[in-house]
Amino acid sequence: MDRMLYVAMSGARQTMLAQTANSHNMANANTDGFRADLASFRSMPVYGAGEATRVYAMAESAGIDTTSGTINPTGRDLDIAVKGEGWIAAQAPDGSEVYTRTGSLRIADGGILQTASGLAVLGNGGPIAIPPSEKIEIGADGTVSIQGIGQTPNALTILDRIKLVKIDGASLVKGEDGLLRTRDGSGATPDATVSVVAGALETSNVNTVEAMVNLISLARQYETQVKMMKTAEETDNAATQLLSLSN
């Protein structure tokens, strides 16, 4: 019975991990630019004395869903949405290069251009610094232009260019801090083919209906595993009673 209990227990634990990933996706269904986490189950044989006749399921991350969300216009100058494939490069608190699709930008103290979560947006030579200005424009290629204080509207000065990269989803990994990095930790090369839509934001790519169906399915799987543990306990008790009677 211990083997049956182990298989059921490990299955329940792995199902809970898959539920955590699915719940995280649902919680970010309204987060701009969010990419859903993918989770899958893999069969793992239980090795020990005798033949490996029992198999348990192991939940593991299968990467992220790179499907694009919907681009909605906002009219805000500092909102950008990546069009098609591509990522916005930013700097994590530890100095490493990370990637995001969240284009709700802001100017922090000191003039540093940041994402909504406070990450410095990278340009040609590092974080982009915005001097005092009356207007900021972001071009389709990520070029950041400003209208200086006291200047005419047509007197725009090109300041820098947002680092836009194209990375295959399989080459990205999400860390414990929730930030996306390349698997080898190296920085990606800017890609001139990546473009953005100014004055717009991309929605999350989480399919809420699919996530709800998956939530119900995982709940039923967990319930089945718990029932198996209960059955193992009842079988063990029955066997103990039979052995006591034989003695």
Tens of each residue's pLDDT in the chain, 247 residues: 567 777 788 888 888 888 988 999 999 999 999 999 888 877 777 777 777 667 777 777 778 888 899 999 999 999 999 999 999 999 999 999 999 999 999 999 889 999 999 999 999 889 999 998 888 999 999 999 998 887 877 878 899 999 999 998 888 888 878 889 998 888 899 999 999 999 999 999 999 999 999 999 999 988 988 888 888 888 877 777 777 765 5
For the chain, give the number of residues. 247
Return the pLDDT at 71: 95
DSSP result, 81-118: EEESS-EEEEE-TTS-EEEE---B-EE-TTSBEE-TTS
Radius of gyration of the chain (CA): 26
User: Which phi and psi angles does 38 have, rounded to 5°?
Assistant: -105, 135
pLDDT digits (tens, 9 = 90+) for 149-194: 878 778 788 999 999 999 988 888 888 788 899 988 888 999 999 9
User: Helix or strand or coil: residue 49?
Assistant: coil
- CA–CA gap between residue 206 and residue 178 (Å, rounded): 16
Return the pLDDT at 205: 93
